[in-house]
Amino acid sequence: MQTNEAKKSSASSFFMKIVKNQCFIPLATLLLLAVFNLIADPSFFKISLGYNSAGNPVLSGFLITILDSGSELAILAIGMTLVTAATGGQDISVGAAIAISGSVLLRVLCGTNSRPETLQAPIIVAFLVSCVVAMLFGAFNGVLVAYFKIQPMIATLILYTAGRSIAAWINNNELPVISEPSFTYFGEFIPGIPIPTPFFIAVACMIIIGIVLKVTNLKLFTQAVGINESSSRLNGLNPAFIKVLSFVILGLCVAVVGLIKVSRISTINYSVIAKDIEMDAILAVALGGNALSGGKFNMAASIIGAYVIQFLTTTLYKFNVQSDALPAYKAIVVILLVVISAPTVREAFSSMTKKLKVKEVA
């Protein structure tokens, strides 16, 4: 009898542990969506192997699409999580910054001719240049936030407004088109590998950030600055530097996503590329249970959050929801999240489980 009870309580404490884990909410949402799709139409989970027009084997299916498109978001979520944690604000210029870095990338690849027969520079060089540019723009945002003490949303509003014009200006308003097939590898498939490349790029980014968080103090310092700037300074940290650093890292993420985006269609449309992606990235951070007011963060939860959002988007597309209505559905998710994570609801929830426990014991 006693052992039974002990088991029960250890089981329920195990359950509580799971519920308390930050990854719980995004994973539970994912599960909910998966079950919904399973009931509505199991073919959602079908994955089939085919060949693309270049004759290479590729996997296709909704799940592959989620892995593919969600990877862009996952990469951005990494940077956005750090910015959120360090500054307690969000960068809303991500989409515009992607337009800039994509534009730079194409500019370097194309040189002066907007439709070159051969690439004017190796892709890696163009990518590195776009990284530098994106990091500089990140630093610009960071300096406004850290040194001029402008609220992040306001500071990044500048680039949000001007970014796409800057992107167009970089290419003299022309629309460069790349005809080199190897350029499409980054956004589509590498010949012979049936899984979309963006997923591999995202995994690489996750591994890199994982290692960085392990071998440096990025996490501790970022959290400390985000929670209490004054204390951090008295502990020898330079809060302004940490904040700028977080924006620069986000800039790097932006450049990577810029490469994927531009590679997907081998060209760019300045006014619509990565439109509203910043909102999805911020949503991913929130869905991961990270406080948008900064401080503690959980990187894994943000990344899972990103894929969950793509899962939602793809599900809605599957059910033929008008794509201009998607933001409304996402808004509902945000509202639910905010309500669930509100302290009053949490308290009510925990007191409910406690009562259940008391009953169990009785």
Partner 1 sequence: MKKKLLSVLLSTAMVAALATGCGSSEEATASTEDTATEAAASEDTAEEAPAASGELIKVGIINNDPNESGYRTANDKDLKAMFTEENGYDASFAYSLKNDEQITAAQKFIQDGVDYLLLSAADTAGWDSVLQDAQDAGVRVILFDRTIDADESLYEASIVSDMDKEGETAVNWLKEQGLSEYKIIHLQGVMGSAAQQGRSGALDAAVASDGWTLVTQQTAEWNAEKAQQIVQSVIDSGESFNVIYAENDDMAKGAVAALDKANISHGVGKDVIVMGFDCNKWALEELLAQNWNYDGQCNPFQASYIDEVIKKLEAGETISEKVIIMDEKGFDAETITQDDVNIYGI
Partner 2 sequence: MEDNIVLKMRNIHKIFPGVHALQGVDFTLRKGEIHALMGENGAGKSTLIKVLTGVYGKEEGEIFLDGVEGAVAIHSPQDAQRLGISTVYQEITLCPNLSVAENMFIGRTEGVYQNWKKMNTETDRILKSLDIPAKPTQQLESCSIAVQQMIAIARAVDMDCKVLILDEPTSSLDEQEVAKLFKLMRDLRERGVGIIFVTHFLDQVYEVCDRITVMRDGKLVGEYPIKELPRVQLVSKMLGKELDDLSDIKGEQQEYTKEKGAVPVLEAEGLVSDAGIKPFDFHIDKGEVNGFTGLLGSGRSECVRAIFGADRVLGGAVKMNGKNVKISKPLDAMKNGIAYLPEDRKNDGIIGDLSVRDNIILAQQVLRGFFKPFSKAEANKVADEYIKLLSIKTASKDTPIKSLSGGNQQKVILARWLFTHPEYLILDEPTRGIDVGTKIDIQKLVLKLASEGMSVTFISSELDEMIRTCSRLVVMRDRKVVGELSGADLNQNKVMSTIAGGDK
List residues binding partner 1 (CB under 8 A).
43, 46, 50-55, 58, 60-62, 65, 69, 115, 136-137, 139-140, 143-144, 147, 158, 162, 164-166, 168-169, 173-175, 177, 188-189, 261, 264-265, 267, 269-275, 313-314, 317-318, 320, 322-324
Nearest to 261 by CA among 97, 55, 92, 53: 97
Q: 69 touches which of partner 2, partner 1, none (CB within 5 to 8 A by kind)? A: partner 1
Q: 269 touches which of partner 1, partner 2, none (CB within 5 to 8 A by kind)? A: partner 1
* Cα–Cα distance, 19 to 26 (Å, whole number): 11
The angle subtended at Cα 239 by Cα 237 and Cα 240, nearest 5°, is 130
DSSP for 64-129, written as a single string: HHHHHHHHHHHHHHHHHHHHHHHHSS----HHHHHHHHHHHHHHHHHTT-SS-SS-SS-HHHHHHH
Any contact of residue 237 with partner 2 (CB under 8 A)?
yes
- Of the residues 63, 193, 233, 265, which one makes contact with partner 2 according to CB under 8 A: 233
| Interface mask toward partner 2 for 280-299; x: CB under 8 A | ---------------xx---
DSSP state, 56? Answer: -
Within residues 300-329, the interface with partner 2 by CB under 8 A covers: none
Please identify, using beta-carbon distances, which residue of 113 and 350 lies nearer to partner 2. Answer: 350
Any contact of residue 224 with partner 2 (CB under 8 A)?
yes
Any contact of residue 240 with partner 2 (CB under 8 A)?
no
Please identify, using beta-carbon distances, which residue of 296 and 318 lies nearer to partner 1. Answer: 318
Count how many Cα atoms sit within 13 Å of the Cα of residue 345 in the half-sphere of its side chain: 7
Q: Which residues contact 308 (CB under 8 A, 6 or more apart)?
A: 26, 29, 30, 33, 284, 287
Please identify, using beta-carbon distances, which residue of 2 and 322 lies nearer to partner 1. Answer: 322
User: Nearest approach, Cβ of 325 to partner 1 (angstroms)?
Assistant: 9
Give Cα separations from 245 to 57, 139, 196, 332, 347 (angstroms). Answer: 41, 7, 30, 33, 36
In the chain, what's the furthest Cα-to-Cα distance? Answer: 82
Please identify, using beta-carbon distances, which residue of 62 and 186 lies nearer to partner 1. Answer: 62
Any contact of residue 344 with partner 2 (CB under 8 A)?
no
Please identify, using beta-carbon distances, which residue of 162 and 291 lies nearer to partner 2. Answer: 291
| Interface mask toward partner 2 for 155-194; x: CB under 8 A | ----------------------------------------
* Residues linked to residue 49 through DSSP beta bridges, in sequence order: 59
